[in-house]
Amino acid sequence: MNRCPACGKTYDDEARFCTRDGSKLVVVAERGASRETVAGRADPPSTSMHGNLTGRVLDGRYRIEKKIGEGGMSFVYLAKDIASDDRYAIKVLSAALSSDANAMARLRREASLGMRLAHPNVCHIIRLGETPDGLVYVVMPFVEGEVLSDRNNRMGTLPIDEVVRHVRDIAAGLHVAHELKIVHRDLKPENVMICPTSDGGERAVVMDFGLAKERRADAELQKLTATGIILGTPEFMSPEQLRGRPLDPRTDVYSLSLMTYEMLSGKLPFSGRTQQEMMIARLRSEPLPLRQAAPKLARHEGVERVLGKGMQRDPNDRYTTAPEFASALATAAKLDGEESSRLGRFFAR
């Protein structure tokens, strides 16, 4: 059978990607067999220490309060700064990952990039640390709120004015990264947090630049990312990412366009019985028009045009920057609303 390394859900032999988080599945032995993978590799080192750090103080500064999440490669804790009482999120890498020399080289490079991303709409890396006994951890601001994917699942579809605000915030955070020559390249609803603000509003925060890379990748980074290995979540990857081609900010614009479509319609614009079919559809097919996915949005022709441009297969045909896409969406939504009001007044006479 196959198993998701992130959430642990199991699938039959034909499945290749997790339907929950898009992770590539790994082949595992049948129940009752040896706890080794079918390929013969033993289980990674025990993670009992990494997953039970409550009460420990890291770097003489961060006191671990409680575990707030875990995945296949890390554990996330809430911690407090002993001196300031400020709260932080600390991601502790699994023993298997922290012992992987290539993965650590990549992480150190990404941490140096992430430290330059301080912005209200980005959850940036504050520092990368390592304890004497081998625990490797990343310190980030603690961000409270609701994950966008959870909100999508809870509400089904989001009001267009709310979507416009979220897209504006996400675009602002992405633009800071893009100006530093960083492409997120794993933008998805699971990597966006909707956070309450002191004035009673909300702001969207882009999380987890763990797959981010410098746009002008040098030979070392190209070696680390391993030619031919696609990094990202299949549902939201751009065509050029699926083809393994060079990436730039327009690949994040594509992913943001898919996310916007999903927020508005509750669906993705490409369909398929498997992840592979969905990926092929993005390479060969046109997206389902918004008015067909969500008939109640049929009057929003301008918004449909904006999404269509953002999801063009050729990056040259898309919006150049994330703020440009966000601005076009806001303008289209406003004009569509005004036109609808005008028509409503006309037919009411």
Q: What is the DSSP string of 151-199?
A: HHHHHSS--HHHHHHHHHHHHHHHHHHHHTTEE-----GGGEEEEE-TT
Q: Which whole number is the average pLDDT over 130-138?
A: 85
My answer on whether 288 and 177 are in the same domain is yes
Any idea what DSSP says for residue 216?
A: S
CATH number at residue 129: 3.30.200.20
My answer on whether 168 and 284 are in the same domain is yes
Close Cβ partners of 338 (under 8 Å, ≥ 6 residues apart): none
My answer on whether 253 and 296 are in the same domain is yes
Beta bridge partners of 26: 3
161 flagged as catalytic:
no
Sheet holding 202-206, edge to edge: 146-147, 192-196, 202-206
My answer on whether 154 and 135 are in the same domain is no
pLDDT in tens, 237-254: 899 988 888 899 999 999
Is the separation of the CB atoms in 194 and 148 below 8 Å? yes
My answer on whether 173 and 312 are in the same domain is yes
CATH number at residue 225: 1.10.510.10
My answer on whether 73 and 13 are in the same domain is no
Is the separation of the CB atoms in 251 and 187 below 8 Å? no
Confidence of residue 263 (pLDDT cuts 50, 70, 90): very high
**Residue 344 domain-assigned?**
no
Beta bridge partners of 24: 17
* Domain end position, chosen among 141, 167, 185: 141
My answer on whether 155 and 168 are in the same domain is yes
CA distance 97 to 107: 10
Q: Which whole number is the average pLDDT over 37-49?
A: 40
Confidence of residue 311 (pLDDT cuts 50, 70, 90): very high
* Domain end position, chosen among 141, 176, 206: 141
Question: DSSP labels for 29-48?
Answer: PPTTS-SS-TTSPPPPPP-T
* Domain end position, chosen among 108, 141, 174: 141
User: 120: how many CB neighbours lie within 10 A of its CB?
Assistant: 13
Handedness of CA 258, 262, 267, 273 (dihedral sign): positive
pLDDT on residue 260: 98
Q: What is the mean pLDDT of the chain?
A: 80
My answer on whether 121 and 201 are in the same domain is no
CA distance 116 to 136: 20
Q: What is the number of helices (H) and of strands (E) in the chain?
A: 11, 14
Q: Which whole number is the average pLDDT over 77-89?
A: 94
Distance, C-alpha 255 to centroid of its chain = 9
Structure tokens at 338: 């005004």
**Residue 46 domain-assigned?**
no
Domain extent, residue 113, equals 57-141
My answer on whether 7 and 63 are in the same domain is no
Considering 21, 169, 186, 336, which one is annotated as catalytic?
Answer: 186
The more confident residue out of 71 and 93 is 93
pLDDT on residue 333: 95
Confidence of residue 347 (pLDDT cuts 50, 70, 90): very low
- The count of domains in the chain is 3
Q: Residue 85: what residue type?
A: D
Q: Residue 234: what residue type?
A: P
User: What does the longest C-alpha to C-alpha distance in the chain come to?
Assistant: 78
